């Protein structure tokens, strides 16, 4: 019994010291955006000798109903990765992917207005057959 009593306090002390050390000396983690250029990939996939498509979305679930801005930089699409469809935003020049909606009801079929200022999509929040929702978009804020 005396051996157990001696081992327990020293291991407890060691655990406390490790915890304090980690808390005091842990640096703040900063995440940097990763720029991603599809042009190198597209040269390999979209050439007269190659006909394979490449993915713009790499996440679980069905990724459907895409719409891009006129300049081709931003992609909006619906995905059911969380069990029901939600609308997501993807900056095609970086690795940034942001959920636009995150609700227990389905939202799908996003479409960008010709001027690129609005997103319209189908939402089942108030009607199970779907209503059109108009949302002013702010891609620079989402990035």
Task: Give the per-residue pLDDT at 134.
Answer: 93
CATH of the domain at 105: 2.40.10
Residue 98 placed within a domain: yes
Task: Give the per-residue pLDDT at 29.
Answer: 55
Decide if 22 contacts 14 (C-beta within 8 A): no
Task: Give the per-residue pLDDT at 47.
Answer: 59
Q: How far apart are CA 73 and CA 34, in angstroms?
A: 15
**Other C-beta atoms within 10 Å of 64: how many?**
14
Residue 119 placed within a domain: yes
Residue 136 placed within a domain: yes
- Segment 7-47, tens digit of pLDDT: 456 666 666 666 665 555 555 555 555 565 656 655 655 55
Domain that holds residue 76: 57-142
Q: In what side-by-side order are the strands of the sheet with 63-68?
A: 63-68, 74-79, 86-91, 97-99
Task: Give the per-residue pLDDT at 49.
Answer: 66
Task: Give the per-residue pLDDT at 98.
Answer: 86
Task: Give the per-residue pLDDT at 109.
Answer: 93
Residue 85 placed within a domain: yes
Residue 135 placed within a domain: yes
Number of structural domains in the chain: 1
Residue 23 placed within a domain: no
Residue 28 placed within a domain: no
Residue 3 placed within a domain: no
Average pLDDT by stretches of 10, the chain with 143 residues: 54 63 55 59 59 67 83 87 88 83 91 90 90 87 73
């Amino acid at each position: 019994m005396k051996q157990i009593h001696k081992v327990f306090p020293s291991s407890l002390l060691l655990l406390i010291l490790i915890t304090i050390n980690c808390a005091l000396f842990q640096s703040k983690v900063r995440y940097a955006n990763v720029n991603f250029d599809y042009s190198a990939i597209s040269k390999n996939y979209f050439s007269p000798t190659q006909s394979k498509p490449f993915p713009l979305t790499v996440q679980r679930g069905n990724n459907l109903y895409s719409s891009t801005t006129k300049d081709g930089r931003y992609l909006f699409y619906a995905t059911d990765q969380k069990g029901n469809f939600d609308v997501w935003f993807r900056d095609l020049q970086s690795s940034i992917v942001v959920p636009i909606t995150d609700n227990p009801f389905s939202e799908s079929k996003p479409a960008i207005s010709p001027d690129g200022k609005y997103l319209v999509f189908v939402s089942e929040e108030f009607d199970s057959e779907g209503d059109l929702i108009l949302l002013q978009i702010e891609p620079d804020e989402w990035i």
